Amino acid sequence: MALEFTSSYLKDSLAVLRYYKKLGEGAMEQVSDDQLLATLDPEMNSIAIVVKHMAGNMRSRWRDFLTSDGEKPDRNRDTEFVEPPANRERVLALWNAGWQWVFDALEPLADADLSRTVMIRGEAHSVMQAINRQVAHYAYHVGQIVMVAKHLQHENWKSLSVPRNKSAEFTRRVLAGEASQR
């Protein structure tokens, strides 16, 4: 994703969130259906479980974002970490539905909304704080998805950013307008 200069917090937040969505998708595309369900050890979550958790969080946080607490009474967070979605189709359906909640809530907002108050687990947050909280949360989990996928693919991994030992070449290509910066 090419960096677009902006002084709009909302526009930049949406761009960053779209970038993380794309990173997660790029990682998931590189693993087999079985690898979506693989764990590296008994304490780790599979990619499918991480997606299930993210989707549950996204639905809770962004549904009725400005008017209800971001921790909805119908959310059962503990169930997000058991019984992974059965197949790639279901994993991607949850992934896309979760991100749709995010974008449907954020795209209509205006800069004036940033100082409004929203609640998350009974604690007051400005809209800007709530967005920051979720950007950090989603970046954390997308990083997990990428790490697991990269581990499972090892030598077959195709870099989603600057390939190892290619920084100088990448920088030259960016400066020449041949590659995106993100």
Name the more confident of 50 and 169: 50
Share of the chain above pLDDT 90, in %: 84
Please report the pLDDT score of residue 168 as a whole number.
80
If you write DSSP's letter for every residue of 102-149 in order, what string do you get?
HHHHHTT--GGGGGSEEEETTEEEEHHHHHHHHHHHHHHHHHHHHHHH
Q: What is the pLDDT of residue 182?
A: 47
Average pLDDT over residues 27-55: 97
Average pLDDT score over the chain = 93
> Is 7 or 80 the better-scoring residue by pLDDT?
80
Q: Superfamily assignment of 9-175 in CATH?
A: dinb family like domain (1.20.120.450)
Residue pair 80/49 in contact by the 8 Å Cβ criterion: yes
2: confidence class by pLDDT, cuts 50, 70, 90: low
Proportion of the chain in helix, strand, coil states, percent, rounded to 5: 60, 5, 35
Q: Where do the structural domains in the chain lie, given as residue ranges? A: 9-175
- Say which residue the tokens 């090419």 belong to: 2
The pLDDT confidence band at residue 179, using thresholds 50, 70 and 90, is low
- Tens-digit pLDDT profile for residues 45-99: 999 999 999 999 999 999 999 999 999 999 999 999 999 999 999 999 999 999 9
CA distances from 131 to 12, 84, 92 (A): 11, 27, 23
The whole-angstrom separation of Cα 182 and Cα 83 is: 34
pLDDT tens digits along 102-134: 999 999 999 999 999 999 999 999 999 999 999
**What's the pLDDT tens digit per position in 123-165?**
999 999 999 999 999 999 999 999 999 999 999 999 998 777 7
